[in-house]
Amino acid sequence: MPPTPHPGEGDAHEALDPDAVSSRPPPRVRPVVERTTPTAGTEAAPVDKMRAEGLRAWFGAHEALHGITLPVRANAVTAIIGPSGCGKSTFVRCCNRMHEVVPGARVAGSVLLGDTDVYDRRVNPVRLRRLVGMVFQKPNPFPTMSIRDNVLAGLRLNGLRPSDPAAVVERALRQAALWDEVKDVLPRSGASLSGGQQQRLCIARALALEPEVLLMDEPCSALDPVATAKIEELLHELRTRYCIVIVTHNMQQAARVADYTAFLFQGDLVEYDRTDVLFTRPRERRTEDYITGRFG
Amino acid sequence: MALDPLSDVRAAALASTHAPDLRAPRSLRERAVGALLAGAAAVSVLTTIGIVVVLVREAASFFAEISPARFLLDGEWTPLFADKHFGIWPLVAGTLLTTGIAIAVALPLGLLAAIYLSELASDRVRRWVKPALELLAGVPTVVYGYLALSFITPGLQHVVPGLAGFNALGAGIAMGVMILPLIASLSEDALYAVPAALREGAYALGATKLGAVFRVVVPAAASGIGAAAILGVARAVGETMIVAIAAGQQPRLTLDPRVPVETMTAYIAQVSLGDTPHGTLEYRTIFAVGLALFLLTLALNVLSHRLRRRLKGAAA
Amino acid sequence: MTTPHPSVAPPADSAGWLRTGHTRHEAAFRALCKLAIALPLCLLVVLGGSLVVEAWPRLGASFVTSYPSRFAESAGILPALVGTALLMGLTALFAIPLGVGAAVYLEEYAQKTRWSALLELNITTLAGVPSILYGLLGLELFVRVMDLGRSLVAGAATLALLLLPMLITVSREALRTVPRELREACFALGADRAATLRRVVLPMCMPGVLTGIILSLSRAIGETAPLITIGALGYVAFLPTSLGSAFTALPIQIFNWVSRPQAAFRANAAAAIVVLLVLMLLMNGVALWLRKRLQKRITG
A7-17: per-residue pLDDT in tens?
333 333 456 66
Q: What was the pLDDT predicted at B2?
A: 37
Distance between CA atoms of B145 and B153, rounded to whole angstroms?
11
Q: What was the pLDDT predicted at C217?
A: 92
Q: What was the pLDDT predicted at B11?
A: 42
Least confident of B157-161, C187-191, C229-233: C229-233
Distance between CA atoms of A76 and C72, rounded to whole angstroms?
87
Q: What was the pLDDT predicted at B252?
A: 87
Distances (CA, A) of A22 to A94, A97, C80, C187: 12, 9, 57, 16
Model ipTM value: 0.87
B232: nearest CA partner in chain C: C128
Q: Domains in chain A, start-ordered, CATH in brackets? A: 48-291 (3.40.50.300)
Q: Which chains touch C (3 or more CB pairs under 8 A)?
A: A, B
- The yes-or-no verdict on residue C193 having pLDDT over 70 is yes
Own/partner contacts of C84-87, CB < 8 Å, gap of 24 or more, are C84/C221, C84/C249, C84/C250, C84/C251, C84/C279, C86/C152, C86/C156, C86/C240, C86/C247, C87/C152, C87/C155, C87/C156, C87/C159, C87/C247, C87/C249
Asked if B62 and B284 touch (Cβ cutoff 8 Å), the reply is yes
C positions 198-257 inside 8 Å of B (CB) = 218-219, 221-225, 228-231, 234, 251, 254-255
Asked if B14 and A163 touch (Cβ cutoff 8 Å), the reply is no
Query: If DSSP codes are grouped into helix, strand and coil, which group holds residue A81?
Result: strand
Greatest alpha-carbon pair distance for chain A in Å reads 59
Beta bridge partners of A68: A55
Distance between CA atoms of A149 and A208, rounded to whole angstroms?
11
Report yes or no: A15 at the C interface, CB cutoff 8 Å: yes
- Determine the residue among B1, B9, B33 to mutate to test chain A binding: the one whose Cβ has the most chain A Cβ atoms within 10 Å: B9
Asked if A96 and A215 touch (Cβ cutoff 8 Å), the reply is yes
User: Chain A: nearest CA to C167, how far in angstroms?
Assistant: 18
Q: What was the pLDDT predicted at A42?
A: 46
A202: nearest CA partner in chain C: C185
Q: Which residues in chain A are closer than 8 Å to C196, comparing Cβ atoms?
A: 18, 157
Report yes or no: B316 at the A interface, CB cutoff 8 Å: no
CB pairs under 8 A between A and C: 111
For residue A123, give the nearest of B9, B14, B22 by CB distance.
B22
C positions 178-237 inside 8 Å of A (CB) = 179-193, 195-196, 199-200, 203-204
Whole-model pTM: value is 0.82
Distance between CA atoms of C224 and C254, rounded to whole angstroms?
9
Distance between CA atoms of B265 and B171, rounded to whole angstroms?
13
B positions 20-39 inside 8 Å of A (CB) = 21-27, 30
Report yes or no: C65 at the B interface, CB cutoff 8 Å: no
Asked if C172 and C260 touch (Cβ cutoff 8 Å), the reply is no
Asked if A287 and A53 touch (Cβ cutoff 8 Å), the reply is no
Q: What was the pLDDT predicted at A26?
A: 41
**Stretch C272-283: mean pLDDT, rounded?**
93
A270: confidence class by pLDDT, cuts 50, 70, 90 = very high
Query: What CATH topology corresponds to B94-282+294-315?
Result: MetI-like fold (1.10.3720)
> Do A159 and C195 lie within an 8 Å CB cutoff?
yes
Closest CA to B26 of A116, A20, A134: A20
Distance between CA atoms of A166 and C48, rounded to whole angstroms?
60
Helix (H) or strand (E) holding C269: helix C263-299
Report yes or no: C31 at the B interface, CB cutoff 8 Å: no
**Tens-of-pLDDT digits for all 316 residues of chain B?**
333 433 444 444 444 333 335 555 567 888 889 899 999 999 999 999 999 999 999 999 999 998 998 988 888 888 888 888 898 999 999 999 999 999 999 999 999 999 999 988 888 888 888 888 888 888 999 999 999 999 999 999 999 888 998 999 999 999 999 999 999 999 999 998 888 888 888 888 777 788 888 888 898 899 999 999 999 999 999 999 999 999 988 888 888 899 999 999 999 999 988 877 888 888 899 999 999 999 999 999 999 988 888 766 655 4
Distance between CA atoms of C138 and B7, rounded to whole angstroms?
60
Q: Where are the alpha helices (DSSP H) in A99-224?
A: 125-131, 147-157, 165-175, 179-182, 195-207
- Determine the residue among C169, C180, C189, C205 to mutate to test chain A binding: the one whose Cβ has the most chain A Cβ atoms within 10 Å: C189
CATH 1.10.3720.10 assigned to domain C79-247? The reply is yes
Phi, psi (5° rounding) for residue A247? -90, 135
